[in-house]
Amino acid sequence: MLPGDFDIQILKPTRKRVILGLVALASTLGVLVVLGLVLTFIISSWWARPIVFGYDEGPDQPIAFPHTTHVQELGMDCTFCHRNVEKGASASVPAVSLCMTCHKVVGDDSEEVAKLREYYDLDKSINWIRIHRVPDHVQFVHDAHIKRFSGKDKTVVETMTNPESQIYLHDAQKMKRDSGLQVGEVIDVESSEVCAVCHGDVGSMSKVKQVRPLKMGDCVDCHRDNNAPAECAVCHY
C-alpha cells in the first residue's frame, strides 16, 4: 500500500443496520417535533394576548356604548347585560334584543341608539371589537372567579390566610372603587363588583380598554396569592 493510501472498508447494508438507521432517524425526528411543540407553546404563551387594540386605549366600536351612562348615571351593574357571567365560562355579550328592551322607547335623540335600532330592524348582530382575549389554549371560567371573590362579610387583609372569608386590600379597593378602604374592614362583595379585579373600573371608561396584561404570570400570581389551584390542567384543558 502506497503512503497516503487508506484502507477503507465499505460496510454492506444489512437488515439490522437499516433498521437501526431508521430507528435513529425516527428518534431524531421525534425529538425535533417535541422540541418544536414545546417551543411553539412557550412562544404562544408569552406572545399570545388580546389584540392590542384594547390595551391602555380602547378602540372605536360599531356603536359607542357609554358604560359611564349606564353604570354611573343609571346604576346598572355588569350582570344586567352580561347575564352568563355567574352561570358559565363566558361572560357573554348581550343580544341586540336585550338592548332594545329599553331602547325601543328610550334614546330617540341619540345617533348611537338609531344605529342600534337599525341593527335590530335588520335582525343583525353587532360585530363588537373584542378587548379581552386569552390564547385559544387557555380556558378562563368566569363563574368560578365570581364565586371565589364574591360573598358577605369579607375581611380586608394584606396577608391572606383564609380566602373564603378574606379579600386583599388592593382587590377590595378596585371592587368598591374606594381607595380609602383599610385593612380590617369587613365588606360584602357583590358578583358585579368582582369584574373590576381583571377588567378595571369599566363604569368610568368612555371606551372600554384592557388594564391587565392577561399573561400567564399574571394569572398564576393571582392564583397563588389567593390560595387557588395553579396546576397546568386548571386553565389548559
pLDDT in tens, 61-120: 999 999 999 999 999 999 999 999 999 999 989 999 999 999 999 999 999 999 999 999
User: Looking at the domain assignment, is residue 206 inside a domain?
Assistant: yes
Structural domain total, the chain: 1
User: Looking at the domain assignment, is residue 85 inside a domain?
Assistant: no
- What is the pLDDT, as a whole number, of residue 53? 47
User: Looking at the domain assignment, is residue 14 inside a domain?
Assistant: no
User: Looking at the domain assignment, is residue 53 inside a domain?
Assistant: no
Q: Which residues of 129-146 are buried (b: 16+ CB within 10 A; e: fewer)?
A: eebbbbbeebebebbebb
User: Looking at the domain assignment, is residue 5 inside a domain?
Assistant: no
E-assigned strands of the chain? 151-157, 166-168, 186-189
- What is the pLDDT, as a whole number, of residue 136? 82
User: Looking at the domain assignment, is residue 230 inside a domain?
Assistant: yes
User: Looking at the domain assignment, is residue 98 inside a domain?
Assistant: no
pLDDT, averaged across the chain: 88
Please provide residue 151's backbone torsions phi and psi, each rounded to the nearest 5 degrees: 145, 170
Find the domain containing 215 and state its range: 142-234
**Average pLDDT of span 207-236:** 91
- What is the pLDDT, as a whole number, of residue 54? 52
Q: Is the pLDDT of residue 230 over 90?
A: yes
User: Looking at the domain assignment, is residue 151 inside a domain?
Assistant: yes
